[in-house]
């Protein structure tokens, strides 16, 4: 059974600050944490902060391609996990045809946010999520993942951080 979820937050784990996107079921308390790459976390964070670049980034481009070819992203489904790797499908409707595209959850979420598409997860993934995320921390207390020593960046802090990023802040890729 599919359960509708939404992006609750981005959390950074450990000394390396590994990004985790936290999905929370729309009509409940269960969460699904998915470890993602920094680039995808930035793409999700930029969209959550409503920050727009003058030129399209990769996820903006993909959203434009889907729309430009007459398609509509109907939903994203986070379908399964195998050996700690999550799998997702982007369900696109075009000319009455339904197309399922295999994709990483992080990319799918970034595109879904841009196209305002619904995000779903299989029920069993929410049932076996490894920990709970507190909804709101007490005043003066930093939110943490239960059993983890790291904090979550508040929405306003994230917006400020993302607005101040320059292209040089992303560094260079060296294989």
What pLDDT shows up at residue 172?
Answer: 46
Element (DSSP H or E) covering residue 42: helix 38-48
Asked whether 8 and 133 are in contact (CB, 8 A), the reply is: yes
In this predicted model, what pLDDT tens digit does every residue of 54-108 receive, in sequence order? 999 999 999 999 999 999 999 999 999 998 899 999 999 999 999 999 999 999 9
| Residue 81 vs residue 166, higher pLDDT | 81
Token pair in block for residue 116: 């305002």
Q: Report residue 165's pLDDT band, with 50, 70 and 90 as the boundaries.
A: low
Phi and psi based region of residue 116 (left: phi greater than 0; alpha: psi -120 to 50; beta: remaining): left
Domains and CATH numbers, the chain: 2-170 (3.10.690.10)
Q: What is the pTM of this model?
A: 0.74
Cα–Cα distance measured from residue 108 to residue 78, given in angstroms and rounded to the nearest whole number: 9
Token pair in block for residue 164: 């101040």
What pLDDT shows up at residue 167?
Answer: 52
What pLDDT shows up at residue 12?
Answer: 85
């Amino acid at each position: 059974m599919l359960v509708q979820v939404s992006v609750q937050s981005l959390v950074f784990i450990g000394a390396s600050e590994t990004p985790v996107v936290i999905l929370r079921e729309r009509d409940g308390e269960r969460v699904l944490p998915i470890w993602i790459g920094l680039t995808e976390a930035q793409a999700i964070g930029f969209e959550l902060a409503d920050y727009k670049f003058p030129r399209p980034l990769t996820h903006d481009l993909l959203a434009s391609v889907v729309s430009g070819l007459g398609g509509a992203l109907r939903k994203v489904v986070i379908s399964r996990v195998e050996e700690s790797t999550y799998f997702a499908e982007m369900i696109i409707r075009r000319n009455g045809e339904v197309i399922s595209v295999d994709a990483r959850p992080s990319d799918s979420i970034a595109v879904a946010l841009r196209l305002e598409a619904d995000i779903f997860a299989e029920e069993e993934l929410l049932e076996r999520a490894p920990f709970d995320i507190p909804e709101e921390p007490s005043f003066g207390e930093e939110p943490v993942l239960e059993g983890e020593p790291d904090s979550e960046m508040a929405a306003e802090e994230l917006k400020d951080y993302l607005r101040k990023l320059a292209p040089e802040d992303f560094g260079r890729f060296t294989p």
